[in-house]
Amino acid sequence: MTDKSMASLTQEQAAAEAAELRPQLIAWGKQYYDADTPKVEDDVYDRAYARLVALETAFPAIVTPDSPTQRVGGSTKSDLPKVVHDIPMLSLGDVFSIEELQEFDERLRGNVADDFDYNCELKIDGLAISLRYENGEFVQGSTRGNGQIGEDITANLKTITSIPQTLSRPLTIDVRGECYMPKAAFLALNERREAAGQAPFANPRNAAAGSLRQQNTQVTADRKLATFMYNIADYEPLNTRTQSGLLDELAELGFTTNPTYQVAHNMTDVGDYIEQYQGQRSELPYGIDGIVIKVNTLPLQRSLGATVKDPRWAIAYKFPPEEVEAKVLDIEWTVGRTGIVTPTAVMTPVALAGSTVARASLHNPDYLTAKDIRLGDTVLLHKAGDIIPEISQYVVAKRPADAEPYVIPTHCPSCGAELVHLDEEVALRCINPRCPAQLAEGMNHFASRNAMNIAGLGPQIVAQLFDRKLVDDVASLYRLTNDQLLTLDKFGEKSAQNLLTAIDNSRNNSLERLLFGLGIRHVGAKAARSIAAEFGDIGSLMTADSESISAIDTVGGIIADSVVTYFASDQVRELIDELRAVGVNLTYTSGAETAIDTEGQFAGQRIVLTGKLQELSRPEATAWLEQHGATVTGSVSKKTDLLIAGEAAGSKLTKAESLNVPVWNEAQLQAAMAETK
């Protein structure tokens, strides 16, 4: 792609350049919109697209019907039902500098007689969605698709707690907004995918898009998606006539809206808003890739109208990518608890997006090979989705003359066993059950809160136990003595006794905690509980076949096969015998589910949790409230009966106070729980 100015181009030259750009942009667009697997950075696509727009604007005769500039977003997937948008869902035009933004303002004001304000909003890095309500009831949700026709994703959207099923008023409306994956949920998802040998998602936007297009709604629910709604197809049913008022009214109806919006009276205000949030970008709990500036008056928006794909009354200012150079000093390979061996680039420390970065995951051998990263390379480093340090490419001009292609290891860096690929995984895996690195990571998982819950047994202590050869598997934890623990760094009588007590208490856990703690591939906490409840004891489970295990609700064939394979191992059977010998409970003792309380003080209440709880985890509090008849939702509205606020409660607390919703702290909840007991 050339950087020649439009004035120096002939129409033939412009047509030739555009002809090169279109197929490349179409291919990139399919990877981004349809396959959710982008092959280039957003900025690369945006710049190429902007160049094509400039060419076609300067030379209108070269525009072709199939040009990416003539259609919105992606195509529609054939395996999902189609939804026709009665009022099209348009995309936004982009600008990349304050000067271009100023030109947009001057052009708009030149066509409007009266003065007007803008509303500035954060550009959420997610997937555009449309929600249809009839008489206040949620009836259909869809993607934007090509702007005219989208994909029906109603069932998956119903799993997202921030989407109200019933509005506070019986309106018939189409509301538009963004579905996104919070940064914390994105990190957790990629950790699970890499632990399972799957390729990680490139960024939260693609993770959200892939989650919404799942056939299994439980997968969508588990991925903790969220939404911000910001537009409506037809504002006539609402009371407001401004964009800022629209956001307030949507919140009153029960939707989650982003509270960071700001009315701007001039371009100085717009510039201040951009500067503020470009600086705060890395601190937000969700990804943004720019700022959206909209004419604030809704009737004026309507009169200004739109082009074939962009509204004339709005523009997106795209943040420039924050990218720095770093030198690759080494590539380290680490072994996770499931045996997956992961490469990590070790680099010269550099400042990036508010933190110092010296390491970046290279995910798996295929990724490393595709990027062609070599020792000694200078690479361009950015944070994917403002979260994960990621190498975009090496700098060709700075590659050392003697740099050779990196050789992927064939043996485990911890135990020396031969590495293998399983089930066509992208990951490289060590399958030696006695691999020291796996044993240490497995013990950390075994002791974790949702597994055996051994308080005080963290990674540093586990590392010491293995270094001093005090343990060699999880069963040996139960043979530790006070004298042995006193040999550990910074361990006194009290800390040794506390850890021994925690280990001893864990012997009595119900079977599902042990099953989860063993780290059986694909078996999470929920599946472990279902399996333990069905079979009752470890002996019955160890003799069960795949068919009987997969017959359990929520447990499929993949999990069942994994359980059967796990217990077929002689080493595993020896471990179970050792656990039995040291007195670990091997039966299901949690009992049947307690009936939901339909008459207590929380029965029928709509409750929202926000902020950080100190004594309870969010899942524990949610489970207890639901067991006692409450409905726990993710957004505050006039229908909310109670907000429980922990530390650092933010916009939800502010909104609850403005709506006079009762607010409790964690201590009040605990007091109510104790009283209920």
List active site positions: 123
Helix, strand, coil percentages, rounded to 5, for the chain: 40, 20, 40
Inter-residue contact 608 to 576 (CB < 8 Å):
no
List Cβ neighbours of 259 (8 Å cut-off, separation of 6 or more).
651, 654, 655
Q: Assign residue 269 a region: left if phi > 0, alpha if psi is -120 to 50, beta otherwise?
A: alpha
Query: In sequence order, which residues have a C-beta less than 8 Å from that of residue 44 and are 6 or more positions away?
Result: none
**Contact (Cβ atoms closer than 8 angstroms) between residue 664 and residue 608:** no
Helical ranges in 291-378 per DSSP H = 298-304, 365-371
Q: Is 518 exposed, middle or buried (0-12, 13-18, 19+ CB in 10 A)?
A: buried
Q: Is the dihedral of CA 247, 248, 254, 260 positive or negative?
A: positive
What CA–CA distances, in Å, run from 614 to 267, 302, 354, 451, 537? 44, 49, 27, 20, 34
Q: Are 623 and 607 in contact (CB under 8 A)?
A: no
Q: What is the DSSP letter of 335?
A: E
379-394 in b/e form (b: 16+ CB < 10 A) is bbbbbbbbbbbbbbbb
Contact 521, 197 (CB under 8 A): no
CB atoms closer than 10 angstroms to residue 299: 11
Find all residues with CB under 8 Å of 335, minimum gap 6, and list them: 341, 412, 413, 414, 430, 435, 437, 438, 441
Strand ranges inside 225-353, DSSP E: 226-232, 262-264, 288-295, 314-318, 324-335, 340-352
Tokens of residue 479, six digits:
């043979």
- Measured CA to CA, the distance from residue 515 to residue 628 in angstroms comes to 28
Which residues, including other chains, have CB under 8 Å from residue 542's CB and lie 6 or more apart?
A: 567, 573, 576
Q: Are 48 and 1 in contact (CB under 8 A)?
A: yes
| Residue 339 burial by Cβ neighbours in a 10 Å radius (0-12, 13-18, 19+) | buried
